[in-house]
Amino acid sequence: MSEIRLDRISNQYVLIAPERLHRPNINQFHKTKSSSLTCPFCEGNEDLTPPEVFALRDNEANFGMWKTRVVPNLYKAVQIELEDKSKRDGMFESIAGVGAHEILIDSPCHDCGLADLKVEEVENWLRTMIIRIEDLQQDKRLIHLNIFKNHGSNAGATQEHPHTQILALPIMPKNDLDFLERNLEYYRRHGRSKLEDVLQNELKAKKRIVDRVRDFVAFCPYASAFPFEVMIAPTKNIASLNMCSRKDVTDLSTIVSKVFKALKRELGDFDYNLYFHLAPLNPNFENEKYIPYLSKNYRFYIRITPRIYRLGGFEISTGMAINSILPQECARLLRGD
């Protein structure tokens, strides 16, 4: 059974999840790629996963002919069935690992990354996330939502078939609470969100802009931690993905598709991490002071971090990144200039 423990020294939460030990190793899949090894995420193998939570389909559940499919993670870090109770061990404190850990299978295609999907297929991927966000939001125990992709062994992926993970937790990670506090302080001082000013600065400078599709901008951050790192953010305050209009989702799908095609053109089949930075899923005592301001000062964003190089001792020991390529040069190449 998983637990969420608080590190008293760093003041950071840690997930202790023994079930994750039994995840498949991606090297196993690379060695047997051309064999008859059965992929549990491929169409026709629906019986190899737990029963689906949701799918974009026109037929009966847990059969083929789907566009996207969401299933519980077989090696889940948290469990929705647990009771939200805390316990103490001397000065140490933990709570049961309550939460949801789901796998969104991006498409039936085993070898199709985001760069290979049609725009409407990317839109299916995003719309499936929105449906899951709105469903998970009904469980008021869950206050933080993490949506991310690991692609390739350098990024920690353990399955070849492209997929996205959805993890909902009953606590706010310290990094997210710190961001909410800094963002609120900035708003009280300037009347604008921090990301709003960052975007305006990037649009004015132009040299780090990769692309723009109406209300969404893709750019290489000024202090990119990774070569060819890209952020995608709206030019208006949209606190979470499920607050996007249908037109917004179509535009976001278009720019995501264009960015990944540009990255593939420059880097080939590259390893990467992708994550969505979203507003809190529900209010609780940790985040309640920030909730009234979210519609005014919070913008979700997507961050794509290619994992071209492995992290070394300096990065791990200091928490600082070393990036060997200027962000404006990466943006120029991605624009095709």
For 140-157, how does the pLDDT look when each residue is reduced to its tens digit (9 = 90+)?
999 999 999 999 988 888
Residue with tokens 């880097």: 267
Mean pLDDT of the region 113-134: 98
Q: Find all residues with CB under 8 Å of 182, minimum gap 6, and list them.
A: 194
| Helix (H) or strand (E) segment spanning residue 56 | strand 54-57
H-type alpha helices, the chain: 26-31, 119-136, 174-190, 194-205, 246-267, 294-297, 313-318, 327-335
What is the fold of 36-74+99-335?
Answer: HIT family, subunit A (3.30.428)
Q: For the chain, what percent of residues have pLDDT higher than 70?
A: 93
Cut 0.85: pTM above it: yes
pLDDT in tens, 170-189: 999 999 999 999 999 999 99
Q: Where are the domains of the chain?
A: 36-74+99-335
